[in-house]
Structure 1
Amino acid sequence: MMVNNVNKLYLIIFFHNLIPAYVIERLFWEQRGMTVLMVVLCEIIYAVSIIIFEIPTGVFADKIGRKTLLAFGAVLSVFEFIILLFAYEFWTFALVVFLAGISSACTSGAWNALLYDSLLTDKKQESFEKIVGRMNSLDFIASLLAALSGSVLAKYVGFEFNYIVSAASMFLGMVLTLLLKEPPRNRQQRKNEKSQSAFMVYVRKSITFYKTNPKVVTIITNAMGIAAFITYLDEFWQLYLDEIGFSVLFFGLFSACISLARIPGNLLAAYLLIYFKAQSIILFILGITTVCFFMTAIFPGVIGLSMIILIFLASGVIDPVVTGFLHHHGSSEIRATIESVQSLIESIITFTVGIGFGMISSSFSILSGFLFLGVISCLFFFYFLEKGFVKN
């Protein structure tokens, strides 16, 4: 029964996010000599590595199996934390994010493709959004536990110990990944894969899918815009707290609040889709994101922190809604590839936004960087509104 895959995926995502290193990551990097601009350059390297490997890994996942790509990505994730323990130069951090980009590319298409086909085998695909929401919630619960323990460990044991614990957690996730089972393909799918084994066949089929579904393209583009903005909020909230005068001990509590804020949206996403269209949900969240970024920059302090939490609260709905929308419209033979294209769109947006964010934050302050994100989010909002999908 493929239900065993789902249970293993629950455990994998828990250990993959039980990473106490994340709560002090920016401070650890800063301690090792990494400036904000250097960190943004690493984010760009990360985005470029995803751009390079996203489509090939998606195709390989569809051709040779999703488990194989997930296992390879899990191995790379373990090495990332081992390397970071010995990282003191920019190039070592750049190597880590490059490997992280490959790992993310291996996972992005294959993870949900394996989950959806596992549910499809048991004729339970209608529960996909609900399962994704639960997995994301488990992700944030693990992050919460890691944050609460990580800040204490960082204060009393040292930053390096957090990375040792994180490497061990990633190793457990890797072992569980190796125990997954590849969902069976039906006879027609296997026939198609044998007759259309060329790499470009999968790419052309994916491009055709997006060309014939313009609404999917617009929804994904704007949702990935939100994801890109939140990437930089996720990466730099620690520097925001540091700039407004909070102690590192508060970082764990605030990180826990962020994780808790993301849970309700993930759990409610499947139910919201009963009453609202996906495009209406995304437009509403774009509006909230825009206002909150402006407020965070203009009112640093308690109001700003509240706005950050509100952004994460609203954004929790995005992943289950968009991922479900994509997979319900896609076919199994290119399921990983079309999601890789989605991740590619996000990486391009992240890359583009990151250049402006990094230059402004380095030249002025992190508050100016958040103001910049608010301006870009506002542009996405009016672009999406102009499309008029909510009226259709």
Structure 2
Amino acid sequence: MQLKVAHNAYLNDINARKKGNNDMQQPLTNHTSWTSRSQALRTRLLPLYIAAFSQGLVLWAPIEKVFLRSLGFNQATIGLMVACYGSLIPLFDLASGLLADRWSRKGILMLSSLATMINALLGGLSYNIPTYLVSTLFFGVSVALASGTYESILYDILLEETGHGLAFAQRLSHVKQLNSLALLLSALAGGLVAVLLSPRLAYFATIPLGIISLVALLTFQEPHLHHTEKRTSFVSHVRAISQILFQRGKFLRTISILLATSLLLSAVFEFGPLWQLALAAPVGLYGIANAAVLSAGGAGSWLAARLTFTKSTNVVGMAGLLVASSLALVVVRNAMIVILAQGILVAGGVAVNTIFTRMLHDSLPSEVRTGAASGVSALSSLAFVLFALLFGEIIQHAGIFHAGWMVVGVTLLAGALLVKGAHQ
């Protein structure tokens, strides 16, 4: 209801400006007002953009798998590690979403930056498997705290500043592009640090970047739409989120597609380098491969702001592209083609996920926005824990290419949901 009223107000503003074309002063006044609002929005979002960019600068990411080998990890224990921190994410995800709605979304993001710094510190100090597993728990906490929070803040800022959320996909794509750019730069810089100095130093060098994120968030003006409504009890809050998450019909389809695409992206980001290991790719190719996949995320964000699924041809084309790319992971034995396929999966997955994230927030009231978004993320994390455990076992006994059929299955599910929705 809130979004509908805001959208009508936006349309009324557009109509009022059109009617003023016969008046020489009115268009100038409206244009000035519109420009002023746009400038205010950009100024308000700048610290958030800086924080997102800084949090994306994870210098240890491109060399982690190589570093893990030096600590004694094998493919099975890597899968166990992913499952360990992944098992914490759903709990912290939902809890942080509830806390963000009832306390401060800005505060939750600051805690996320702090957890990122602790993760990097413990990772750099690790000389054995147990110590590194502890560090990954803080990484899981960091991911959980940030999950759903950036997008909720963005949507409510747009409601406060413009009265509608029509530009949400575009603004969210800006955040994701900045994050992808940061990951791309950290992939290149992290690789250089590892080669020229030490892989361990890449962990320590990530800590100052977390400090930059904290400073940026301190200057950020948080939206307060989620505090304007009458405060409800904790039980009522949880009940409202549960009712939203398990609605039938179109809302359930939206959540299902978000789950499938999140699972796809997590699989590629977490296990993608294992294809290079299996193909005995040169060490220098790891940084390039990681950079290519991460830049594909930025391309997917750019595409999301321009792609529409109102045409069935776009839907079928996207579904077919995802399935075809996933098949390349099980039948192709060329490292460059595999990297290209992973990039396409990431670009397509990010685009679809961003579009359906907007659809999700269009249906959410502000007072439960972060909690509901975090609930979806928690469900995705639970699914990935099970996925990672099974994926690791298949790798250990049959190899990465057989395990790749699990990725094919996920893309088939996402594609089927997309096509089914297009025909409804």
TM-score computed with the length of structure 1 as normaliser: 0.90
Alignment check: 8 A CA contact 1:15 1:173 kept: yes
Alignment check: 8 A CA contact 2:85 2:140 kept: yes
Matched with 1:350 is 384
* Runs of 5+ consecutive residues of structure 1 not aligned to the other structure: none
Structure 2 CA distance for aligned equivalents of residues 181 and 368 of structure 1: 49
Identity value in percent: 20
Structure 2 CA distance for aligned equivalents of residues 274 and 312 of structure 1: 18
Matched with 2:170 is 130
> Deviation per CA, 1:78-105, whole angstroms, max 9, x where unpaired?
1000000112333322222222222222
Structure 1 CA distance for aligned equivalents of residues 238 and 315 of structure 2: 27
Structure 2 CA distance for aligned equivalents of residues 306 and 183 of structure 1: 40
> Deviation per CA, 1:51-84, whole angstroms, max 9, x where unpaired?
2222221111001121111111111111000000
Matched with 2:331 is 298
2:300 partner letter: G
* Runs of 5+ consecutive residues of structure 2 not aligned to the other structure: 1-39
Matched with 2:209 is 169
> Deviation per CA, 1:146-186, whole angstroms, max 9, x where unpaired?
22222222112110121122122122112222222221338
> Deviation per CA, 1:213-255, whole angstroms, max 9, x where unpaired?
5312222223322221221221222232132122222222222
Structure 1 CA distance for aligned equivalents of residues 133 and 249 of structure 2: 36
Note the C-alpha offset of 1:322.
1.9
Note the C-alpha offset of 1:285.
4.1
Structure 1 CA distance for aligned equivalents of residues 81 and 315 of structure 2: 29
1:1-392 correspondence runs (5 A): 3-123=42-162, 125-185=165-225, 190-193=228-231, 196=232, 198-212=233-247, 214-273=249-308, 275-276=310-311, 285-301=318-334, 302-379=336-413, 381-382=415-416, 384=417, 388-392=420-424
Alignment check: 8 A CA contact 2:263 2:410 kept: no
Instruction: Report the secondary structure of 2:45's partner residue.
Output: helix
Alignment check: 8 A CA contact 1:238 1:251 kept: yes
Alignment check: 8 A CA contact 2:188 2:288 kept: yes
Structure 2 CA distance for aligned equivalents of residues 283 and 104 of structure 1: 32
> Deviation per CA, 1:306-347, whole angstroms, max 9, x where unpaired?
222221232230232122111111110101011011101211
Note the C-alpha offset of 1:272.
1.6
> Deviation per CA, 1:2-47, whole angstroms, max 9, x where unpaired?
6434111111111111222111111111211122221211221222
Q: Which moved more, 1:230-239 or 1:324-333?
A: 230-239
Structure 2 CA distance for aligned equivalents of residues 276 and 79 of structure 1: 46
1:353 partner letter: F
1:295 partner letter: A
2:190 partner letter: G
Structure 2 CA distance for aligned equivalents of residues 92 and 283 of structure 1: 46
Alignment check: 8 A CA contact 1:5 1:115 kept: no
Structure 2 CA distance for aligned equivalents of residues 379 and 54 of structure 1: 24
Alignment check: 8 A CA contact 1:265 1:316 kept: yes
Q: Which moved more, 1:25-34 or 1:311-320?
A: 311-320
TM-score computed with the length of structure 2 as normaliser: 0.84
Instruction: Report the secondary structure of 1:266's partner residue.
Output: helix
Alignment check: 8 A CA contact 2:105 2:149 kept: yes
Large movers: runs of 4+ above 6 Å: 280-283
- Between Structure 1 and Structure 2, how many residues are aligned? 383
Structure 2 CA distance for aligned equivalents of residues 283 and 202 of structure 1: 38
RMSD between aligned residues: 2.3
1:296 partner letter: L
Alignment check: 8 A CA contact 2:268 2:346 kept: no
Structure 2 CA distance for aligned equivalents of residues 3 and 113 of structure 1: 17
Note the C-alpha offset of 1:136.
0.9
Q: 1:34 to 1:11 in 2, by over 3 A?
A: same
Instruction: Report the secondary structure of 2:302's partner residue.
Output: helix
Alignment check: 8 A CA contact 1:55 1:340 kept: yes
